[in-house]
A = this chain, B = another copy of it.
Amino acid sequence: MTSQAWKEFPPPLSDEQLEILVANIKDWQLTHGSLLKLVSSDEDSTVLAQPVGACLFPTLFPRQLFEQALDLQKTYDKLYARVAEDEEWLYSTLKGLIETYDLARVLWGIHQEVEREGYVQDVVLGIFRSDYMLDANTESVSTSEEILLKQVEFNTISCAGGVHSNLVADMHRRLQRSGAYLPSDPNLETINISSSSLPPSHTLSTLTTGLVAAHNLYGPPKSPNANQTCILFIVQPRNFNIADERPIEYALWDQDIPAYRVIFAEEVLAHTSLSPGRELLYHPPSRAGPMEVSVVYFRAAFEADEFDDNGRKARLLLERSRAIKCPSILSHLTTFKKVQQALALPGGLRRFLTEDEAVRIASTFAPIYPMDESEIGMAARKLALSSISSKSYILKPSLEGGGHNIYGEDIPRFLSRTPKNKWSNYILMEKITSPAIHNLSMSPRGFYRGPVVSELGIFGICLWKRDENTEGRVEITQDLNPCWSFKTKSASVNEMSVVKGYGCFDSPALVDQSIFSACCLGTVKAVEHSGRRSL
């Protein structure tokens, strides 16, 4: 069975089955907000939206590695909370960036300014997302032991995709229940995707629970001017991705917690102020009296171009306030890839974790090097400049989240155009050789049928309390059970960008590693050159 198993999931469908499946998916997405807003159509009285890219079937994924990623998350949460509270280590790691990159300098400057005045809020809410891909680390995958989980990046601000993934996972589970994934020919031996193969997603409720926990910890309003607390979502203007944010706001209202969107930076400056006790007061345009802000949840303020004068002012005002930030400035700074790379240096993790914890975390690190003038950095530069060895690497700017990466043989040319004193603002990461699996997807760009690779994001949601005396060893006070997101793209595309139509939201169909190995072998050999084609 194994030799042809890859052909059997997704099972072959008749044209009519496929047509019905596609109609069912589009209608489900339209009626559940699994959409992207077409911002350019956002006229006064109407707006257009269309379904976000989605896989037609869940994508096979090894159950053991899915569970490994979930199991690791609380250790990751502790690690990044500790990194955020270890100012000394963080500064020495980011020093080079702070000196040469505007965004790092601005953020660090805000931290310093608040520190001089004294922080009035010790509690931090972390909503993290650790992204993984599967790594076969070899051209052929013949046994399950050869597939490992490798971390792509760790995000600590504005972690997106949780609601979208929740929705697509719900959809796949519903489609499975309705029999949509059964083959037209009942005699076909196929991989049985039962409901227990499809893990339920609790991402929306978990994100909400985290915000509620922080809100409750904040307690009643402290300012005499406010008689109610609320949560602020700091958001970007003209946002096409409201479907990933609004449901969290609505879920808070369902728990009687007022939640408001405030656009960064203009509306922050126009509608918030600090009380004498540095409570953050929100003055909703629709109400007379101010409300006191318990939690500031950033879904904006992470891109360099958001930090003009107003951006800096707004971020400073929020950081100075008593509201619990998600994330704090220091926690935001840990998202830079320079931190990921520094933790991957030999012994890098032992400052924060026990030996056992460090080993388990390090097992998910792909080889990742600095591009500075250290010994390792100089070796990395050599790898990056060679037209042959560079093929196995990705050059990533240390600052931003996803995107802006330079892949493989583009690296030498890119470095030749970049001033040498900026090279250390990049890190060099070995490409992950992800085993490909067969699937079908659809997006506004069209249909795709062929080999795909997936990215698993594990959300860690935790609260900790800053304490001068435990620098580098801060303890998490509340850590929710992790939840996940899942994205899938054509194996032939480098970037996992759902927005650009290269990637799709998806959910994993958990199988034994032996079944997974059998399927990806087949897939790689059979269809890796088929590329995009219409259904």
B-contacting 9-mer, from A38-46, A77-85, A98-106, A358-366: A38-46
Question: At the interface, is chain A mostly helix, strand, loop or mixed?
Answer: mixed
A347 an interface residue at 8 Å Cβ cutoff?
Answer: no
- Distance from A75 Cβ to chain B, minimum over Cβ atoms (Å): 34
Q: Which of A5-45 contact B (CB under 8 A)?
A: 14, 16-17, 20-22, 26-28, 30-33, 35, 37-38, 42, 44-45
Beta-carbon contact of B285 and A242 below 8 Å: no
A531 within 8 A of B: no
Residue of B48, B185, B443 touching A48 (CB-CB under 8 A)? B48
Question: B447 and A44: CB pair below 8 A?
Answer: yes
**Alpha-carbon distance A38/B41, docked complex (angstroms):** 14
B30 near A44 (CB under 8 angstroms)? no
Pick from A176-184, A337-345, A506-514 the stretch touching chain B: A176-184
Nearest CB of chain B from residue A190's CB, rounded to whole Å = 13
List B contacts of A526 (CB < 8 A): none
With known contacts A33-B31, A35-B30, A184-B285, A446–B20 Cβ distance under 8 A: no
A225 to B180, CA, bound (A): 21
Closest to A51 in B: B46
Please name all residues of chain B whose beta carbon is closer than 8 Å to the beta carbon of A185 when the two chains form the complex.
288
Cβ of A445 within 8 Å of any chain B Cβ, yes or no, is yes
**How near does chain B come to A240, taking the closest CB pair, in angstroms?**
11
> Which chain B positions have C-beta within 8 A of A286?
17, 20-21, 178-182, 184
Which of B38, B48, B442 meets A45, CB within 8 Å? Answer: B442
CB of A258 within 8 Å of the partner chain = yes
Most buried by B among A179, A258, A445: A179
Asked if B46 and A444 make an inter-chain contact with CB atoms under 8 angstroms apart, the answer reads: yes
Q: Which residues of B contact A289 (CB under 8 A)?
A: 186
> Of B181, B247, B443, B534, which contacts A31 at CB under 8 A?
B247
Contacts of A37 in B (CB 8 A): 27, 30
Please give, as numbers and ranges, the residues of chain B lying within 8 Å of A44 by CB-CB distance. 22, 442, 446-447, 534-535
Q: Which residues of B contact A498 (CB under 8 A)?
A: none
* Residues in B whose Cβ lies below 8 Å from that of A38: 48
Bound Cα distance A178, B253 (Å) = 8
Report the separation of the CA atoms of residues A447 and B44 in the bound assembly, to the nearest whole angstrom: 8
Chain B's closest residue to A258 (CB) is B178
Known A184-B286, A287-B182: A48·B46 in contact at CB below 8 Å: no
Number of copies: 2
Contact across chains for A45 and B447 when beta carbons are under 8 A apart: yes
A174 at the interface (CB under 8 A from B): yes
Closest chain-B Cβ to A321's Cβ sits at a distance in Å of 22
Task: Among B16, B48, B51, B447, point to the contact of A50 (Cβ < 8 A).
Answer: B48
A17 to B21: give the CA distance in the assembly, Å: 42
Whether A284 lies near B179 (C-beta < 8 A) is yes
Binary interface profile of A, 276-288, with partner B (CB < 8 Å = 1, else 0)?
A: 0000000011111
Assembled-state Cα–Cα distance A253/B288 (Å):
45
B243 touches A30 (CB 8 A): yes
Docked pose: A31 CA to B17 CA in angstroms? 28
In angstroms, Cα B49 to Cα A31, docked, is: 10
Kindly state whether residue A246 has any CB partner on chain B within 8 Å.
Answer: yes
Residue numbers of A with Cβ under 8 A of B are 14, 16-17, 20-22, 26-28, 30-33, 35, 37-38, 42, 44-51, 174, 177-182, 184-186, 242-243, 246-247, 250, 253, 258, 260, 284-289, 442-447, 534-535
For this complex, 7 residue pairs linking A to B, each with C-beta atoms less than 8 Å apart, are: A26-B47, A27-B37, A30-B243, A46-B442, A49-B50, A178-B258, A178-B286
Inter-chain pairs besides A17-B286, A44-B535, A48-B50, 10 sampled, C-beta below 8 Å: A20-B285, A22-B44, A27-B37, A30-B37, A30-B243, A31-B33, A33-B33, A45-B442, A181-B286, A182-B288
